[in-house]
Amino acid sequence: MDVTTLTLIELRDALRSGTVTSVEATRAYLNRITAHDDAIGAYLTVDAEGALAQAAAIDAARAAGQSAGALAGVPMGLKDIFLTKGLRTTCASKVLEDFVPIYDATVVERLRAAGVVVIGKLNMDEFAMGSSTENSAFKKTHNPWDIERTPGGSSGGSSAAVAARLTPGTLGTDTGGSIRQPAALCGIVGLKPTWGRVSRFGVIAFASSLDQVGPMGRTVRDVALLEEVIAGYDPRDSTSSQREVPTGLADLPRGADLRGLRVGLPREYFPESGLDPQVSSAVYAAVEQLKALGAEVKPVSLPHSPLGVAAYYLVATAEASSNLARYDGVRYGHRAKADDLYGLYARSRGEGFGLEVKRRIMLGTFALSAGYYEAYYRKAGQVRTLILRDFEAAFSEVDVIATPTSPTTAFKLGERMDDPLQMYLADIFTISCNLAGLPGLSLPCGFDNRGLPIGLQLLGRAFDEPTLLRVGAAYEDATTWHTRAPAEPFVARAGGAA
């Protein structure tokens, strides 16, 4: 049995039954990483020795009859934005190239408590700033469906690793779409929980009022299981919600109908230009499937959505400029040689940060500067409130909102690097969800004529992840898009069909 073909839940069950040991599962994933990651570039660090030691300890504990966690023995790679005790954490930046944390992020603690074996750290856009994983200081990650194309970003290493079966599931972070957009482009499932649902303690900060940790996997139920493990209050995160986390999220009944569910279709998310017709056709077909399952579909309006990108790139860059001020070459991180304090600051930051990070720091610093704060940052905050009110009005009429996740399928690597605006527009359908702090789910709903995946996005009320997961699981049970995998070997696919 090739354990890397199993979903996360199937692997968990195989480990519980003794069909496979954790050492066997871990070795299978390590072997697959060795065989295929040169083509994909998903991993920045692989800890084979440490992972096998963890796996052996879990097997020994299980053999001794000790109680096992919900994911005992499951190997997993993690985005390199999460602090991992004793394991290099770079955030894909030269500033942190040699940084080894002395403690785990809360979500990593919770995964370890559940028995997860951490096998390595996954590539990303530097400091999570990007939509294509081309801004990593160390390597580019390639989409397994076509290695000339992007896997999305910033969690592109995470999405590519799940799609290429280099990890059975993982966690990403989502500031403006960085879980959902790469999930869509790689044909997997990604959930951005409500802001505050999952602790951000030990997660390297980009934009604190927008960042959220969430799960990525091959199926909705895999994602639901991970969400249940990592969610919940954390006193070390002052923004962490004390709301109770629903249990049994992964045990959703199969073949359930959606009678009584109201699905909203916002006209602002289906523009006449800028949206690939193949994407809109696939999303409309997915909505028809929801209707066939019993859902009622009705139009809604989110009139301030067109302002989302502008508001986001003021809020996010302003918060980034503040959060990244700590990388000064004094306390930790890259330290340049200099003759005075100013030179130390300037050279350390100049050498350590990449182009996109510098661009966003400068934009954010300008937006917060004297004379411009009121005109830019405060105005963006007011627009953010209007966007939230739009959602509140829509959710008074519907239970979930269905949209495309991305306006296009995966674009070619290098295609947008010289045009930041076009790159930023890759997140046009995901950004408003972050501004409003709401949960969003992306799942596969089709393929274009090049064989590239298309994602359906479902948006929900605050803290109503259970409804999103229920709808996603019902759709998944009625379709087969999630069962398709990229063909091997992973190569560029002229003409496209996988």
Neighbour tally for 484: CB within 10 Å:
14
Tell me if residue 178 is catalytic: yes
Query: What is the sign of the dihedral through the CA atoms of 94, 95, 99 and 105?
Result: negative
Decide the pairing of beta strands 400-404 and 453-460: antiparallel
> Rounded to whole angstroms, how far apart are CA atoms 221 and 27?
25
Q: Which of 22, 79, 321, 406 is catalytic?
A: 79
Q: How far apart are CA 128 and CA 156, in angstroms?
A: 10
Q: Which two tokens stand for residue 365?
A: 């610093």
Q: What DSSP line would sit under 89-149, residue for residue?
A: --TT-GGGTT---SS--HHHHHHHHTT-EEEEEE--SGGG--SSS---SS----BTTBTTB
Q: Assess whether the previous peptide bond of 299 is cis (omega < 30° from 0).
A: no
> Within its chain, how far is the Cα of 309 from the centroid?
19
8-state DSSP, 369: S
> What three-state secondary structure class fits 429?
coil
Kindly report whether the peptide bond that precedes residue 154 is cis, defined as omega within 30 degrees of 0: yes
What is the CB neighbour count within 10 angstroms for residue 70? 18
DSSP element (H, E) containing 400: strand 400-404
Tell me the residue ranges of DSSP E strands in 17-102.
43-46, 75-79
Buried b vs exposed e over 337-351: b needs ≥16 C-beta within 10 Å? eeeeeeebbebbbee
Q: What does R_g of the chain's alpha carbons equal in angstroms?
A: 21
Cα dihedral angle (95, 131, 269, 171), rounded to 10 degrees?
Answer: -70
Helix (H) or strand (E) holding 466: helix 465-478
Going by DSSP bridges, is the β-strand pair 440-447/189-192 parallel, antiparallel, or unpaired? antiparallel
Q: Which of 93, 178, 199, 321 is catalytic?
A: 178
CA 97 – CA 107 distance, rounded (Å)? 22
Catalytic entry in 131, 132, 136, 154: 154
Catalytic residue status for 322: no
Does the active-site annotation cover 280? no
In degrees rounded to 5, what are phi and psi of residue 263? -110, 125
Q: What positions carry a catalytic annotation?
A: 79, 154, 178
